Every structure is written in C-alpha cells, then in structure tokens.
Chain A
Amino acid sequence: MISLQHVNARAGKFALADISFDIPQGEYGVVIGPAGAGKTTLLETIAGVVRTLSGRIMLGGDDLTSAPPEARRLGIVYQHAFLFPHLSVRENVEYGAASKHAADDVASRFGVDALANRSVESLSGGERQLVAIARALARRPEVLLLDEPFSALDPRTRNIARRVLRTLYYERRFTVLQVTHDFGEAGLLGDVAIVLDKGRIVQKGDPEQIFRKPASPYIADFLGAENVFAGIARPIRAEAPDWVAGNEHEFVRHAVAFTTGSLTFYALGDVVPGPAHAVIRAEEVSLSVEPSMSSVQNQFRGKILEIVPAGALSRVTVDASGTPIVAAVTARSVRELALSVGSEVVAGFKATAVHLC
C-alpha cells in the first residue's frame, strides 16, 4: 500500500503541498495533471529521491518517511528509460534484481531477452522502455512507480507492455502508482485516481467518478470535457412537480435550472444558488432531426457549426441559441441523419448527464 499523510516536499523551486492519499495494497493508482503539476516530484518523493519536509509516507504499512530509496522496496520507471549506458541490456535488467531467475523471467516476458547482449545505445526508444520496466520489476518491488512509461512507445509496443505489466500486476499484486497525461489510460488502469495541479491534489477518488463529476471546470477542461459552461444555477424545488422523469424523489430534492447565455437547462445537484459551472460530456449529448418524446428533457434546436471526424466518433458542434454544444456521435449516425454543416438538428441530454461544479 501507499499512504501519504500531509506530505510537503520541495524539489528546487517546486513544492508539493499537503499531499494526502491512500492506495490500498495491490491496487492501481493513477496520477493525472497538466505538465508542471508535480507528478514526477510526487513519485520521487515517494521513492525518497526528493526529501520530505513534513508529513508521513507509509509503504507496505511501514513508516518510511526518512528511509533512503534503497530501503523502500520499490521500483521507479521514468518517462525516459534511464538505462545505464555503460552496461549491456542483461546487466541493466540484472542490476538490483532479486535473483538471476527473476531477471530472466521478466526479461523474457517483456521480450527483451533476445536483446540481452546488446548495448543500450543500440536500442530503439520502445526497446529501452521495455528494458527499463523489466529492470524495475526484476527487483520484485512491493510498490511500482511509473512516470508515463508508455508515452514513448509505438501503439503496438505500448499494448504489449501494458498487457505484460497487467499480467504481472495480477500475479504479484504489487501496488502501482502511475503518472499519465491520458485520462483514457487512467480510467482503463486505475482503481484510484489523483488529480494534481500546481503541487496540490485538486481531486481524488474513483477514476470514473472523477471523469463524470470533475470537482472544478479546470479539471473538467483538463480531462477533455467538451461542454463546460459558466452560468447561474437556481434550485427549483418548488417548481419540481411539473418535471418528473425517472427518480421523482431525487428530482424533487435536487432539481436545478442552469442558465448559460440564452440557454436554460435542467440538472440535478446540490448547489448554492448563484454562479456555477455545468459540465456535460460530449458522449452524453445525442442528436436528432426532430425533438423526441423521451426522458431527455433538455432538447435544443440549433445549426451545425462543425463536424470533426475523430476515429469511430465524430465531434459535432451545434449552435444552440448562441451556445455551442458538442456531441460525440458515430460516423454511422452522421450518415443516417444526413448531418452536415449548416443543417438543423436537435441536441439533447438528460438532466443526470449534467454535472454542476
């Protein structure tokens, strides 16, 4: 397990402030945040490479706040492999390995056993990274710290590396804390997500929850939410009975009208009346040619401003009374609805799809 309690640390001019979180034994934590948020410094503080000024760092149940890195029973893999260039691939993997067998085992799993006698300088970027991961795992660490280890890999190698790491993780159940820019990866891998910004934790919890309910418009924006609106929230408990779709009890307690520009839509939430932000993921917005008779209460007619194909989905921006609403729809829907720039559509989303922050 990894447990940080009110940790403060400093690396040069950069400071981590009051960092507290727990990653239970055998779980997979992810740290996300913009460049310069302190993600690498956080890992290095846990590793003992950056000194902790105050607070406690518990690893595997032991207080290792002041322990040197070599006593922390962990491994770290940086974004750049940092393979020792004066040693061969084999010597790198065996460096600090629990045993020769352990080194051979991980080397073969990551497919770097064939490179054993090669010099590090002759390896490609992807091969280097695989060797670096194998080297860290050969030590059989209880905690594995990964600093964007897959970012330099091509998609095929990345998938292999992820799969092998995942297999080893399930076999050994070590605790992982991985830094990533990619929230998709965080959602895919993580049991616990920590959002870091300017050296502070701004949100932590279940990745799915953070994805659906970001704590601030900044986080929503960072996590790639396309529809983040500033506006005025107004609880409408008294007016609730005329709008009862789904859970009436819940609705009566939390119904909110949110006004942004000339648009007013319904949401659910506990908000103080006044300025707020509404976040709606593009995947939650549906498009239709005519208003539908359904539980979707928020429906706005508008003109399509832009269609951006992005893989299997297309991002369609609809101008709804001056407010741009982005919907993510399949290419097939674009075809079947004959969507084109300038055509009129109805953008709809449920009140439950609106997150207020």
Chain B
Amino acid sequence: MSRAVASVIVAIVSSLFLLFFLAPVAGLVSSGGARGLASLSSDRELRESLALTASTATMATLLGILGGTPIAYFLARRAFPGRAVVAALMDLPLAIPHSVAGIALLLVLGRGSALGSVMYRVGLRVAGSATGIVCAMLFVSAPLYVSAAREAFVRVDARFESVARTLGDDAWRAFRRITLPLAARGLTAAAVVMWARAVSEFGAVVILTYNPKVASVLSYDRFTSYGLSETLPVAAVLVLFAFIPLIALRALRAGGYRDAP
C-alpha cells in the first residue's frame, strides 16, 4: 500500500471517529440549544437544577482537592509499603459501574446503615439531599483528581524541593513555596476535570438522591415523563454548561513551565 493511500485511509477513519462524537452533540445543541437557553428565564426548575449541579459539583471538587491533594502528593513522592494498593483503591471507583457506586454509598450512608442513622440523628441527612449528591459526585470523580494531581506532582522534579530544603525551607514550606506553584496548573486542570465529571454524574447520584434533581437527573426525569422533545432543551443546556470547564482546561494546558530544570 502506498503512503498516499494509507494517509487517505487514516484521514477517513479519523474523520468518521470525530464525526461519531460531534454528530450527537451538534444534533442536540442545534435541536434544543436555542429553546434551552430561552427556557433558562422561564424554567425555574431547570435554573435551580443547574445551580444545584454547579454548587454540589463545586463542593465535591473542593473536598476532592482537600482530601486528594495530600494523597496524590504522597503517591507521587514517597515509596511506602502498600502504595500500589492505595493507588488501586483510589482508581477503583473508575472501574465499577456508577450505579453500583451509588448502591455502595447508600449501603454506608443511607438511613438504614449504622453511620447513616447516626448522621441522621445529628441532623445530617445524606440520602435524598444535596449532601448525598456531593457524596456521590465526590466518590466517582475524586479518583480522576487524585490521578491527575499525582501526575502533576510527578512532573515537578523532586530535586526542586531538595534544593529548597538545603536553602532553609522545612518540608511544608518547600511544598508551599516550590512544589505547589510548579504543580498549580496541573492541579487546577485536575480540579477542572473532576468538576466536569461531577457535573455529568448520573448513576451514583440518582440512586443516592433523586430529589432535589441535578441537571443529569432532571434531563432523565423529563425524558421518562414527557419524552424526547421536552428533554432536548435541558440536555442541550447541560452540554453547553459542561463545555465551559473544558475550554478552561484547554487554556490551562496551553501554558505551563518548561520541563527542563
């Protein structure tokens, strides 16, 4: 096969591949985008759902950053017994179906569970609340943050820290003044990916908290209750909504420090 023929075949396959992703999204936005944007002013349930989605995803992302950053750092920097097990545990939620993740969370945090009943007694309801949504989003999307944050730390040569330590910084100060700024773009990108994944989460959320409805649950609800036509505006707005962090992510990845030390 000549090189020219191979190039043509590769171009056709790549175009079909891109079309496979582009066509449904473009169809959805062209069919329901205008109606969806117009309904933002009139459809209160949609507005509230989007606000709930954004706020719970943001809360889940903040919790992910808080808990995931130290784990990502230690996985990147320290060799300790069981590191592979911890890394595998962090990746596990990515491998199990999200509805199963929701069931597992319900088992631990639902009112019928020991922990859930204690939390309920102190006024902290998980299932059927925004807290439940945050838990579901955190469970399924935090592994993406930890994985990307770990990579961000790995890309920062540990010798930058070593030099900072010999220049008088203790471990925390070297982390704060050197490692964190150098990994900042990677960490921010990791947080954006986590946020985007949290926004789009359906399986775990719908099991733990059907109401109040996040956007993904609302679009499912509209589809089962009113059919495709009524779902399109909600779905189209959700697509546009998810597009914002992805553009931010591309912008972040375009920058960064050179790798050379």
- Give the interface of A toward B (CB within 8 A): 12, 44, 47-49, 68-70, 72, 74-76, 78, 80-86, 95-96, 121, 135-136, 139, 141
Q: With CB as the reference atom, state the residue of chain A lying closest to B162.
A: A49
A residues near B166, Cβ cutoff 8 Å? 47, 49, 69-70, 72, 74-76, 96, 136, 141
The answer to whether A86 touches B181, judged by C-beta atoms less than 8 angstroms apart, is yes
* Minimal beta-carbon separation of B201 from chain A (angstroms): 34
| Bound: A78/B182 CA distance, A | 19
The answer to whether B178 touches A84, judged by C-beta atoms less than 8 angstroms apart, is yes
The answer to whether B160 touches A69, judged by C-beta atoms less than 8 angstroms apart, is no
The answer to whether A48 touches B261, judged by C-beta atoms less than 8 angstroms apart, is no
The answer to whether B261 touches A70, judged by C-beta atoms less than 8 angstroms apart, is no
The answer to whether B171 touches A68, judged by C-beta atoms less than 8 angstroms apart, is yes
Contact among B159, B165, B171 for A78, CB-based, below 8 A? B159
A residues near B79, Cβ cutoff 8 Å? 12
A residues near B221, Cβ cutoff 8 Å? none
The answer to whether B182 touches A68, judged by C-beta atoms less than 8 angstroms apart, is no
The answer to whether A44 touches B162, judged by C-beta atoms less than 8 angstroms apart, is yes
Given contacts A68-B170, A85-B182, A139-B168, contact A80 B162 (CB under 8 A): no
A residues near B260, Cβ cutoff 8 Å? 80
The answer to whether A81 touches B261, judged by C-beta atoms less than 8 angstroms apart, is yes
Verify if B157 is at the interface (C-beta below 8 Å from A): yes
| Bound: A97/B159 CA distance, A | 19
* Minimal beta-carbon separation of B261 from chain A (angstroms): 4
The answer to whether B168 touches A82, judged by C-beta atoms less than 8 angstroms apart, is no
- Give the interface of B toward A (CB within 8 A): 79, 157, 159-160, 162-171, 178, 181-182, 257-258, 260-261
| Bound: A90/B261 CA distance, A | 17
Contact among A49, A82, A141 for B157, CB-based, below 8 A? A82
The answer to whether B165 touches A69, judged by C-beta atoms less than 8 angstroms apart, is yes
Given contacts A121-B257, A121-B258, contact A82 B160 (CB under 8 A): yes
Q: With CB as the reference atom, state the residue of chain A lying closest to B178.
A: A84
| Bound: A76/B163 CA distance, A | 7
A residues near B167, Cβ cutoff 8 Å? 70, 75, 95-96, 135-136, 139
Given contacts A86-B181, A96-B168, A139-B168, contact A47 B162 (CB under 8 A): yes
B residues near A86, Cβ cutoff 8 Å? 181-182, 257
* Minimal beta-carbon separation of A311 from chain B (angstroms): 32
* Minimal beta-carbon separation of B257 from chain A (angstroms): 4
| Bound: A12/B170 CA distance, A | 22
The answer to whether A70 touches B157, judged by C-beta atoms less than 8 angstroms apart, is no
B residues near A121, Cβ cutoff 8 Å? 257-258
The answer to whether A69 touches B162, judged by C-beta atoms less than 8 angstroms apart, is yes
* Minimal beta-carbon separation of B59 from chain A (angstroms): 29
Given contacts A76-B163, A78-B159, A82-B157, contact A96 B258 (CB under 8 A): no
In addition to A76-B163, A82-B159, A82-B160, 18 A-B residue pairs with Cβ atoms within 8 Å of each other are A49-B165, A68-B165, A69-B162, A69-B165, A76-B162, A80-B159, A80-B261, A81-B261, A82-B162, A82-B163, A83-B261, A84-B163, A84-B178, A84-B182, A85-B258, A96-B168, A96-B169, A121-B258
